[in-house]
A = this chain, B = another copy of it.
């Protein structure tokens, strides 16, 4: 592109291009949003708090390096992550940041207070508990996201409705709540609410995108 560069640098420039696409908080946000299930530009724009034009441009940056793909469905264009590598990459980025950036640590502490104490259940643990059938898996995301895809066998009660709909949960079983990913507060809040009401509740360590990326069973609500 610029001056004379060897083949090695040319390759590294391609890697750098992918990193550059990840190097913006709004794009990471969009990436996590599309990882919940494919969505149109306008929905993404309002979820991310951006203008439509700006969202479109960010999405194109992501598409240019192959992090997302798009398809037309009727009037709108739906975006989704190109594959599970992408989720793994974001996970690696998150892990490194968590480990090394002091600021992340501070934010986590302030954000989650000591909610970390609510022990999280790993994916593997959840899988084996589900086999026993003694737990209820609770998806606390909004209905649209649940419809786009959720853990097979989970029930959907959005966090905001949880208090009123407690009776929909089978009594006497432990509840495992999950939402969008490792930093999604919804699941924390849900567990806090449920314990408040005397239910046995824990949260899943990570969220739906990781579950799907791991190849575990997923359901969607067909329209």
- Which chain A residues have a beta carbon within 8 Å of chain B's beta carbons? 5, 7-20, 22-29, 65-67, 82-83, 85-86, 88-97, 99-101, 103-104, 107-108, 110-111, 183
Contact = CB atoms under 8 A, between A and B. Distances in A.
Contacts of A18: 93, 96-97, 100-101
A85 B96 contact: yes
Nearest to A93: B15
Nearest to A82: B100
Nearest to A68: B100
A48 to B, nearest CB: 9
Contacts of A14: 97, 101, 103-104, 107
What 5 pairs between A and B have smallest CB-CB spacing?
A66-B100, A19-B22, A20-B23, A12-B25, A92-B92
Nearest to A104: B14
A107 B67 contact: no
Contacts of A7: 107, 110-111
Contact of A85 (B16, B85, B99, B104): B99
A86 B97 contact: no
B67 A96 contact: yes
Contact of A19 (B93, B100, B103, B107): B93
Contacts of A67: 96, 100
17 contacts: A7-B111, A11-B108, A12-B26, A18-B96, A18-B100, A19-B24, A19-B93, A22-B22, A66-B96, A67-B96, A67-B100, A82-B99, A85-B95, A85-B96, A85-B100, A89-B92, A91-B92
A99 B69 CA distance: 13
Contacts of A92: 85, 88-89, 91-93
A144 to B, nearest CB: 19
Contact of A13 (B25, B65, B85): B25
